[in-house]
Amino acid sequence: MAPTLSNGFSMPVALNCDFSKEITLNNGFTMPTVGLGLFRMEGKDVKDLLFHAIKIGYRHFDCAAKYKNEVEVGEALAEAFSTGLVKREEIFITTKLWNSDHGHVIEACKDSLKKLQLEYLDLYLVHFPVATKHTGVGVCASVLDENGVLDIDTTITLEATWRGMEDLVSMGLVRSIGISNYSLLQTRECLAYSKIRPAVNQIELHPYFQRESLIKFCQKHGVCVTAHTPLGGATANTIMFGSVSCMDDPILKGLAKKYRKTVAQIVLRWSIQRNTVVIPKTSKPERLEENFRVFDFELEKEDMDLIKSMDRNYRTNQPAKYWGVDIYA
């Protein structure tokens, strides 16, 4: 069983606890605690931002086939390697299998590798626990039926998808495999049928959506938890999903004042102190720096408890708006 910390959260198995800049996964590979999310990052902005991020110290980049910018990320990485800005082995690259490619795991991964111009991925995730109508490898459409409801494929099991993920490890194309947006029970199932255990579950987490049971379950079983949407999606999710983010919350603003940090830094630090990895996205160079500077202070227990009291069990990334069905129902 994983060791329990004074704040009640557990470290993934075989991990040191110092809220350090890296987390050791259950297979021995390490993953930087702060990464850069690339969702909704325009292709034209990718190169400048990636270069800037690498110069600041980012070594972890969270991609997905669905984000439609793997080609631009690949071009930027190739240039970063060839100019000596960073070495391949110094960075951690994640990308994700889209729902429409569950029946084509190997081909989809190879397509992402080709676009990213990489020989291997550090981490490949099943993006959502749902297979949908196949639209061509790497096309990543979300086809709706005649009623405007997501065309969910009922013939492919998540276990079959996972077998494909495990094959990628055997083939040397991927170092670690993981899951994303899996509930506690879906994670439990995955642990039961897996030959290679998921190294990571990447889930939405922020002060309004804290999911303590799921985090503790994952950590107890050695599954590292990554917080996607760690800022609650801020303005981007308000525009895309009409949701309310925590960034304007007076409690967080008060803590920002107390610690002389920004609200984003308070929220990211809170996440790190729960032993979750964070992958905030920004297209603004000054925010890249801000979001990375979260290791020079520590939130006191009373302030961790204060943030804990803010939980609203509120998801801000709500694909149901576009899919005509709530897949979390």
Ligand X SMILES: NC(=O)c1ccc[n+]([C@@H]2O[C@H](COP(=O)([O-])OP(=O)(O)OC[C@H]3O[C@@H](n4cnc5c(N)ncnc54)[C@H](OP(=O)(O)O)[C@@H]3O)[C@@H](O)[C@H]2O)c1
Catalytic residues: 67
Given the DSSP bridges, would you call strands 36-37 and 60-62 parallel, antiparallel or unpaired? parallel
Task: Examine residue 69 and tell whether it contacts ligand X (CB under 6 A).
Answer: no
Integer angstrom CA distances of residue 2 from 31, 198, 213, 224, 286: 18, 15, 15, 11, 37
Place of tokens 């190169």: 47
Specify the stretch interacting with ligand X by CB under 6 A; choose among 45-53, 135-143, 170-178, 225-233: 225-233
User: Site map for ligand X, 170-199, x if CB under 6 A?
Assistant: ----------xx------------------
Angstrom distance (rounded) from CA 296 to CA 63:
27
Q: What are the DSSP calls for 85-124, one per residue?
A: SS-GGG-EEEEEE-GGGGGGHHHHHHHHHHHHT-S-EEEE
Task: State in angstroms the smallest separation of the CB of 1 from ligand X.
Answer: 27
- Nearest residue to 299 via CA among 246, 247, 258: 258
Q: From 43-51, 166-174, 183-191, 231-239, give the range in contact with ligand X by CB under 6 A.
A: 231-239
The answer to the question of residue 201 lying near ligand X (CB under 6 A) is no
Give the span between the Cα atoms of 115 and 29, in whole angstroms.
Answer: 24
Least distance in angstroms from the C-beta of 223 to ligand X:
15
Q: Residue 221 and residue 142: Cα distance in Å, rounded?
A: 32
Quick one: 12 or 230, whose CB is closer to ligand X?
Answer: 230
Least distance between ligand X and beta carbon 6 (Å) = 27
Judged by CB under 6 A, the residue of 99, 215, 230, 276 near ligand X is: 230
Residue 32 contacts ligand X per CB under 6 A:
no
Residue whose CB is less far from ligand X, 29 or 241: 241
Residues that bind ligand X (CB under 6 A): 37-39, 62, 127, 180-181, 202, 228-236, 247, 262, 264, 279-284, 287, 290-291, 317
